[in-house]
Structure 1
Amino acid sequence: MFKADNPSIDPTDGQSIPVLRYSTDDLVPEDRYSTWLLREWPRREQVYRTEPSEPFNTRWESAQLGEVMFVYTEITGMRWERRQQDIRSSEFDPIIINLMVDGLAQGDMDGRPFYEPSGTLHFHDLGRPSLHVSSASTTYSIIISRPVAQQAFGPLHDLHGLVVPAAAAEMLFGHAESTRRALPRLDIMSAERLGRVFLELAAIALAEVRPKALPHVTSEKLLLQRAGEEIDRRLGDGKITIADLCRALGVSRARLFAAFHEEGGIHNFIARQRLERARAALADLDRAEPIGNIAHRLGFSDAPHLSRAFRVRFGMSPRDYRVLVADSLADITPE
């Protein structure tokens, strides 16, 4: 993934995990930024358009851990921008998980504002534009190719600029810190396993904050919802006809009936909604609407019609239900 430009490598016996290092410490201050900008490490091509916000200095360490590039960075304050034309001219478009150990980054990720204080992390898609500023900072970065990221995290469209708070990011920070300390003594055979742990912990952190996918809604379910809202709106108008509903919803009778199949049919649904509306009216003791008025307003032929249907549904008459509500309120009303 990266091309080294004469980095120093930890002394090894040929079996340890190589750690590549880059630093501007030994350069005169006025040459540090220009030298870093023209470096060929970690990549020959420039990834961001950058502008220092203070005297520049930086230190980097990186190790390839299987399918994951693990990077530790100390860097002074900077403005970072990646434009659409930069993306078109580059084949470098991984997903980067940036762990802010110390510092602050904030900006805009292709229309999504983000704010990343110390202890949090954010996902950065280099295949999309971005503009952000960072203070002097210490970070860990986990750089993953798109195919590997898709396999680990699923769809990538919602990741760019997604910030994971400290509580959810804690395990990933712990693994990054312990991995950096342990790298000098670890056998190269451990590299791939370490990388897999990074992917698993990142997936766990992401699952805590990623919005859950909305359940698939069929056209029949949408029609049922629309029809239910239309019926509820018309309940106080008396008679509700199938023809009126079909016209209002722009559907055929067959489609409307099919949508209410699991509800026991549209007529049963309307009857239940009328009775629920009647029960609510009966419980409104302050208004004390006459039972005959309720029956007429909700489309029952008369009060006895409402009474028969109400008794079948709720096991008592409308009058008995109203008395029951009044008694219940009396029991809980302080004297």
Structure 2
Amino acid sequence: MTSHETPERVAFDSEALPQDQRMDRYRALYAIGADVTQVGPNPRAAFEAWRLDRALLYNRRLNDISHSRGEQRVGRDGFTHWTVTLVFEGLLQIDLGDGVRNINAGEIVLIDVSRATRNMMRDARIATLAIAEDRIEETVGPIGGLHGLVLAADHCRLYADFVRSLLSNLPMMKTSSLPAATSALCTLLKVALEAHGLHDAVVEAGRDGRRLGQLRMLIDGRLGDPGFDAETAIAESGVSRATLYRLLRPQQGIAAFILARRLEQVRRALSKPAERRSFAEIALDAGFVTESHASRAFLARYGLRPGGYRSAIATAIAETDPIEQIRLWQQELR
């Protein structure tokens, strides 16, 4: 099995570094998405991160460490994804602005990272799924009202068992299996939400999630057609205009959603080391009429020009720089 067929992984362990460098290196690594502070006498940070399908799965051991995302940072970085954090051992404490809450072993907390949050870890082993909002909503449905929701351990057992198994098996899996694994995580989270007592809301949201998934399949199958636009999607989806606009309000509408899917196809192609086509060819295959339009849209969404993104991916792979790799992975969650 060649290296590009296996899931990409980044690992870090503060105890592998000289003591005077440990916190500084961890702060630099997490500066992408959070401010890190020491909150006790024995800080320890170790993790492995796996790149899934528009999602990252972190397996972390943390002690006397705090991550915070204040209003200024939230406004600056523009992250829109969610995190689903399962506590295996120890204690996770979160503060959403209304006081500190304890998340104990076996429990899950859902966090919208576009909102200010602070957490603290006390001898904790936790698994965090960071996932694009529209990716999780394909299964669970609209989740805007679930920020800060804590799910009891009794409701999370299937999800927890699958996460343990997935973390054990990821080193042997192929990248082609990652979309199915990501969907399984979302499905088992949906099961936990229903067990929590959100059955009616989840059933209704599930209908919307299925519609979103069907719409995405329709759009992805037609991306190469430059004439495929919002009006065509409405006509071919079999869903009313009003319903589509309601479903896609978080994505700024149908046209914006189609553009986002085209850009995602382009980004995936640019991320592949074996991809030899020019950016112009890749853009045209994704349905863009001109290279210049594709380049401007790519820059606006991902913060890098296509050539710069491709070079950064190649450099990160060649140098195995965890900071650069995670920074690029985070762009996929928008």
Moved over 6 A (4+): none
Q: Deviations over 1:241-285 (max 9, x none)?
A: xxxxxxxxxxxxxxxxxxxxxxxxxxxxxxxxxxxxxxxxxxxxx
- The amino acid that maps onto 2:43 is F
- The amino acid that maps onto 2:9 is V
Q: Matched residues in 2 for 1:45 and 1:14: separation?
A: 25
Alpha-carbon shift at residue 57 of structure 1 (Å) = 2.1
Instruction: Find the partner of 2:121 among 105, 113, 134.
Output: 134
Q: Matched residues in 1 for 2:97 and 2:137: separation?
A: 20
**1:160–1:54: structure 2 CA closer, same or farther, 3 Å change rule?**
farther
Is the aligned partner of 1:192 residue 2:179? yes
Aligned to 2:259: none
Alpha-carbon shift at residue 55 of structure 1 (Å) = 2.4
Contact 2:45 2:65 (C-alpha < 8 Å) held by counterparts: no
Alpha-carbon shift at residue 38 of structure 1 (Å) = 1.4
**1:204–1:112: structure 2 CA closer, same or farther, 3 Å change rule?**
farther
Instruction: Find the partner of 1:65 among 49, 52, 59.
Output: 52
Q: Matched residues in 2 for 1:29 and 1:78: separation?
A: 15
Contact 1:54 1:78 (C-alpha < 8 Å) held by counterparts: no
Alpha-carbon shift at residue 112 of structure 1 (Å) = 7.1
Alpha-carbon shift at residue 60 of structure 1 (Å) = 1.2
Alpha-carbon shift at residue 127 of structure 1 (Å) = 1.0
Instruction: Find the partner of 2:146 among 159, 164, 167.
Output: 159
Instruction: Find the partner of 2:15 among 8, 18, 25.
Output: 25
RMSD: 2.3
Is the aligned partner of 1:53 residue 2:43? no
Alpha-carbon shift at residue 77 of structure 1 (Å) = 1.9
Is the aligned partner of 1:115 residue 2:105? no
Q: Deviations over 1:51-106 (max 9, x none)?
A: 33232222111112213211111111223332111111112231000010011122
Alpha-carbon shift at residue 175 of structure 1 (Å) = 0.8
Aligned to 1:148: 135
Aligned to 1:80: 67
**1:12–1:140: structure 2 CA closer, same or farther, 3 Å change rule?**
farther
Paired positions, count: 201
1:1-335 to 2 correspondence within 5 Å?
13-39=3-29, 45-111=32-98, 114-209=101-196, 211=198, 212-213=200-201
Give the greater-gyration-radius structure (CA): 1
3-state SS, counterpart of residue 191 of structure 1 = helix
**1:167–1:177: structure 2 CA closer, same or farther, 3 Å change rule?**
same
Q: Matched residues in 1 for 2:183 and 2:24: separation?
A: 36
Contact 2:140 2:187 (C-alpha < 8 Å) held by counterparts: no
Contact 2:37 2:65 (C-alpha < 8 Å) held by counterparts: yes
Alpha-carbon shift at residue 144 of structure 1 (Å) = 0.8
**1:49–1:181: structure 2 CA closer, same or farther, 3 Å change rule?**
closer
Alpha-carbon shift at residue 25 of structure 1 (Å) = 2.1
TM-score for the superposition, normalised by structure 2: 0.55
**1:31–1:174: structure 2 CA closer, same or farther, 3 Å change rule?**
same
**1:143–1:210: structure 2 CA closer, same or farther, 3 Å change rule?**
farther
Identity %: 17
3-state SS, counterpart of residue 196 of structure 1 = helix
3-state SS, counterpart of residue 89 of structure 1 = helix
Alpha-carbon shift at residue 168 of structure 1 (Å) = 0.8
Q: Deviations over 1:207-255 (max 9, x none)?
A: 2225455xxxxxxxxxxxxxxxxxxxxxxxxxxxxxxxxxxxxxxxxxx
Q: Matched residues in 2 for 1:28 and 1:87: separation?
A: 32
Higher relative contact order (CA 8 A, sep 6+): 2
Q: Matched residues in 1 for 2:194 and 2:48: separation?
A: 29
- In structure 2, the gaps of 5 or more residues are 202-334
Contact 2:62 2:124 (C-alpha < 8 Å) held by counterparts: yes
- In structure 1, the gaps of 5 or more residues are 1-10, 214-335
Alpha-carbon shift at residue 130 of structure 1 (Å) = 1.9
Contact 2:33 2:69 (C-alpha < 8 Å) held by counterparts: no
**1:34–1:13: structure 2 CA closer, same or farther, 3 Å change rule?**
closer
